[in-house]
């Protein structure tokens, strides 16, 4: 049976070059970076070289990069520091953020008595910038805005520069979960002065269990993990050397091919949308995911005019891996909080499927998927 992977927004297959780098590191570079002997010094040098290379790709300083176990930890580290270290008393976010943000700000609200405010989400899935400005005007409290750059379910792209400008105008800090961005879209932190961003290597063909948080220079960092003072005291725990080197390699490769990969994925996305419409003209697309200018090249969230409760299961039987999620879809006890927020009640009960692409996705994969969908629909 042909196997097709179209769930790259969840995780991506590791690139062979990344595996090679990590395998070599496991064999040759086993020293602890905190050790002072030559094995430790070698490991430390490789970690710091990786930090410098990653910083250069973001047009930032190496001192601003903190290695973590992934995007969730990076989001937590940033949000906890904003409240407990930077004296933030008010957080503005949206109800369509990743749970790494939503669950963390809810915890901080309950434990630290911060004010938590939600900016309006438009029916398109876009953030209302007018409402955001209204919220920024209406307070004297030190405020953090936390809004993801690319939504992991519907692919909507936040206008980062406009949000940066609003935050600077009203002296608010700005954190953006960029887990779906890094490795797929370019971010220049000099041109777009975000205060905090996050990354997770497994979203751009790197290994799982490693990522980073970016803290703009000038912000002190209090660790959430104590016991070793690694990462300049920001995160205790022996560095995941092999993972960090794998992430560095994955990011370097992604940056070299970024523009061509983006064009290719958008071409595939447009082709797939046209073929889906041929199956049934009533097929719709959630959020802005059908707009290649306003959504990520990696994500297409499709609303299928069917109440086939076994659709994802049957696709899996055909060897096709995708993700589902809607406010009422069977197979998910809670459904998608993102789609619930922008739901159209006239089409409630229809099946939503997220197809997500990578640079390894082929046209023939999509053609085969279309053939199987024709059978199921």
Q: What tokens were used for 231?
A: 């990462």
The whole-angstrom separation of Cα 96 and Cα 154 is 10
Q: What tokens were used for 201?
A: 């290597």
The whole-angstrom separation of Cα 315 and Cα 322 is 8
Beta bridge partners of 212: 67, 199
Q: 329 with 335: CB under 8 angstroms?
A: yes
| Residue showing tokens 């963390």 | 104
Phi, psi of 95 (to 5 degrees): -85, 5
The whole-angstrom separation of Cα 301 and Cα 39 is 48
Q: 110 with 103: CB under 8 angstroms?
A: no
Of the candidates 328, 268, 330, 326, the one whose C-alpha atom is nearest the C-alpha of residue 300 is 268
The whole-angstrom separation of Cα 208 and Cα 165 is 34
- Residues in contact with 308: Cβ distance below 8 Å, sequence separation at least 6, in sequence order: 314, 351, 376, 377
Residues 250-279 as b or e (16 or more Cβ within 10 Å = b): bbbbbbeebeebbebbbebbeebbebbeee
328 in active site: yes
Of the candidates 27, 21, 10, 38, the one whose C-alpha atom is nearest the C-alpha of residue 253 is 21
Annotated catalytic residue within 112, 164, 167, 328: 328
The whole-angstrom separation of Cα 273 and Cα 251 is 29
Q: Output DSSP code: residue 86.
A: S
Q: What tokens were used for 211?
A: 């990522």
Active site residues: 328
């Amino acid at each position: 049976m042909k196997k097709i992977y179209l769930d790259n927004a969840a995780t991506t297959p590791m690139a062979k070059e990344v595996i090679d780098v990590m395998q070599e590191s496991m064999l040759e570079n086993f020293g602890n970076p905190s050790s002072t002997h030559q094995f430790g010094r070698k490991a430390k040098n490789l970690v710091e070289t990786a930090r410098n290379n990653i910083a250069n790709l973001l047009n930032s300083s190496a001192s601003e990069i903190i290695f973590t176990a992934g995007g969730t930890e990076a989001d937590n580290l940033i949000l906890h520091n904003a409240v407990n270290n930077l004296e933030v008393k008010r957080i503005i976010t949206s109800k369509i953020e990743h749970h790494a943000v939503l669950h963390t700000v809810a915890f901080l609200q309950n434990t630290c008595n911060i004010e938590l405010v939600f900016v309006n989400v438009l029916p398109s899935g876009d953030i209302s910038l007018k409402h955001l400005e209204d919220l920024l005007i209406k307070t004297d409290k030190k405020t953090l805005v936390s809004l993801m750059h690319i939504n992991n379910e519907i692919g909507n792209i936040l206008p980062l520069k406009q949000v940066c400008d609003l935050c600077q105008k009203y002296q608010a800090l700005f954190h953006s979960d960029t887990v779906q961005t890094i490795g797929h879209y370019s971010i220049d932190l000099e041109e777009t002065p975000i205060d905090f961003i996050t990354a997770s290597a497994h979203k751009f063909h790197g290994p799982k269990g490693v990522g980073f948080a970016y803290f703009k220079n000038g912000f002190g960092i209090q660790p959430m993990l104590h016991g070793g003072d690694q990462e300049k005291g920001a995160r205790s725990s022996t560095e995941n050397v092999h993972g960090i080197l794998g992430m560095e390699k994955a990011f370097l490769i992604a940056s070299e091919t970024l523009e061509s990969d983006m064009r290719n994925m958008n071409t595939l996305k447009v082709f797939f949308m046209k073929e889906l419409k041929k199956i049934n003209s009533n097929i719709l697309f959630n959020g802005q995911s059908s707009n290649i200018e306003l959504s990520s090249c990696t994500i297409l969230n499709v609303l299928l005019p069917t109440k086939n409760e076994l659709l994802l299961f049957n696709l899996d039987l055909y060897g096709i891996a995708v993700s589902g999620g809607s406010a009422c879809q069977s197979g998910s006890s809670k459904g998608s909080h993102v789609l619930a927020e922008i739901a159209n009640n006239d089409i409630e009960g229809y099946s939503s499927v997220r197809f997500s692409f990578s640079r390894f996705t082929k046209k023939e994969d999509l053609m085969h998927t279309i053939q199987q969908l024709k059978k199921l629909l």
